[in-house]
């Protein structure tokens, strides 16, 4: 583990309880998230998966900040990545905080209250991840679904990366590299475009070693977290 604080939460959201909730359950979920997430979710009536991801992100933020404020997320001996269940996000008497947000030039979110930690969200493959740190952080998750890895690598990646992807029979390397680039772009706040041409095959290279990296495969998705 790095010496600084980092916690990553993973929630499965492609669940009937979230994608097709009863009116009562949906009202309950919306009452447990901040007003910004609630507004976003209400706009997604015709997008059940997107609505489930938005609600899930809101629930994760409430849970993570409860743990952060009590110090319980800083337990020693634990890895930084925790897969959490929907049930664990819905304690009966938990206080709900209406967090306000500000955004960087390229849309990176921050809590309006600068005393609160940095955070970053990503969702794919029916999963939502939330990374919380006391340093700038970027998080990305990629689901292996495309059949165009080689052509996309040839278009967007460095020559070394494209060659490696073309030789990778597992089809996994493309998603790992893309996730690394997304996480780095979200960490810096510059977005992924400036990093398409950067060689991300080796994270201990001079350019990439400036950051701390966490990588895991969860539910057949690649998760990458980058910390400045």
Residue that is last in its domain, among 107, 135, 163: 135
> By percentage, how much of the chain surpasses pLDDT 90?
79
What pLDDT is stored for residue 210 in this prediction? Answer: 93
Q: Are residues 28 and 87 in the same domain?
A: yes
Q: Greater confidence, 155 or 107?
A: 107
Structural domain that includes position 125: 6-135
**pLDDT one-digit tens code per residue, 45-61:** 899 999 999 999 999 99
Examine the pLDDT at 197 and tell me if it is beyond 80: yes
Cα(24)–Cα(153) distance, rounded to whole angstroms? 46
What pLDDT is stored for residue 8 in this prediction? Answer: 97
SS3 194: helix
SS3 28: helix
Q: Are residues 125 and 147 in the same domain?
A: no
**pLDDT one-digit tens code per residue, 174-195:** 999 999 999 999 999 999 999 9
Q: Are residues 114 and 166 in the same domain?
A: no
Q: Are residues 54 and 114 in the same domain?
A: yes
Q: How many domains does the chain have?
A: 2
Examine the pLDDT at 224 and tell me if it is beyond 90: yes
Q: Are residues 22 and 62 in the same domain?
A: yes
Q: Are residues 12 and 71 in the same domain?
A: yes
What pLDDT is stored for residue 75 in this prediction? Answer: 57
Cα(17)–Cα(39) distance, rounded to whole angstroms? 20
Is 1 inside a domain boundary? no
Residue that is last in its domain, among 82, 101, 135: 135
Cα(140)–Cα(178) distance, rounded to whole angstroms? 9
Q: Are residues 17 and 76 in the same domain?
A: yes
What pLDDT is stored for residue 1 in this prediction? Answer: 45
Cα(228)–Cα(214) distance, rounded to whole angstroms? 12
Tally the C-alpha atoms within 13 A of residue 163's C-alpha that lie toward its C-beta: 5
Residue 139: phi and psi, rounded to 5, are -135, 140
CATH number for position 62? 3.90.470.20
Residue that is last in its domain, among 96, 117, 135: 135
CB distance 58 to 109 below 8 Å? no
Q: Are residues 148 and 128 in the same domain?
A: no
């Amino acid at each position: 583990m790095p010496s600084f604080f980092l916690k990553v939460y993973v929630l499965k959201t492609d669940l009937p309880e979230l994608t097709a909730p009863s009116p009562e359950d949906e009202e309950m979920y919306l009452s447990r998230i901040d007003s910004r997430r609630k507004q976003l979710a209400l706009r997604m009536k015709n997008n059940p998966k997107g609505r489930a991801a938005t609600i899930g992100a809101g629930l994760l933020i409430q849970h993570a900040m409860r743990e952060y404020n009590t110090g319980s997320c800083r337990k020693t001996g634990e890895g930084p990545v925790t897969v959490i269940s929907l049930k664990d996000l819905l304690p009966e008497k938990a206080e709900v905080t209406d967090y306000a947000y500000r955004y960087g030039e390229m849309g990176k979110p921050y809590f309006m209250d600068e005393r609160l930690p940095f955070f970053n969200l990503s969702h794919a493959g029916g999963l939502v991840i939330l990374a919380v740190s006391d340093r700038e952080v970027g998080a990305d998750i990629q689901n292996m679904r495309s059949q165009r890895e080689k052509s996309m690598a040839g278009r967007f990646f460095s020559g070394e990366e494209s060659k490696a992807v073309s030789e990778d029979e597992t089809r996994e390397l493309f998603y790992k590299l893309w996730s690394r680039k997304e996480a780095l772009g979200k960490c810096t706040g510059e977005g992924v475009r400036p990093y398409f041409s950067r060689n991300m095959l080796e994270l201990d290279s001079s350019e990439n070693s400036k950051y701390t990296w966490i990588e895991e495969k969860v539910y057949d998705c690649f998760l990458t977290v980058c910390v400045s």
